[in-house]
Amino acid sequence: MVTRLIILLALIAALVGGCVWQEQRVSAAEKDRDAALQAKRQAEAERDSAKGSTTVVTQYVDRVQIVREAGATITREVPIYVTQKADAACVIPAGFVRLHDAAATGNPAGPPAGDPDAPAAGITLSAIAGTVADNYTSCHATAAQLNALQDWIDLHAQESEP
């Protein structure tokens, strides 16, 4: 009888040990599955983010290209709208050139270095028109870049929301 009791207790202990071992195996498999699913979701999110970023960058490049082409067209048309006759008729004062150059650098012009009404040497109205057209082109290209950056930020902000 004692032998049977010992055998029965040994079988119960083996059964309990087997159940504990099986539970640990199932828990480890569930953890591995959860980690794999999380890695899959992360990879999909990164892939989708990369696709979105690529789309935004492509749209930005397209926008900037269109802006630059339009600006180049406008610059090429300067001689049509500002003729040599207009260049000869309009004397550009040195004060205007000094102020324009100061504005371009972002620094104050300072006190005049001479007569601000004196004609500026070698500066024509058509040259100024070309410079202004180029400056506006750069401004529009920068605006397109900022719009694309805002689109990219909006895209990523939507992804990070739960």
pLDDT of residue 82: 92
- Specify whether the CB–CB gap between 114 and 98 falls below 8 A: no
> What is the distance between the alpha carbons of residues 109 and 125, in angstroms, rounded to a whole number?
21
What is the model's pTM? 0.62
Where do the domains of the chain lie? Answer: 2-160
> pLDDT in tens for each of the 162 residues of the chain?
878 878 888 888 888 888 888 888 888 888 988 888 888 888 777 777 666 667 767 777 888 889 999 999 999 999 999 999 999 999 999 889 888 888 888 888 888 888 888 888 888 999 999 999 999 999 999 998 888 888 878 877 766 665
- Specify whether the CB–CB gap between 74 and 125 falls below 8 A: no
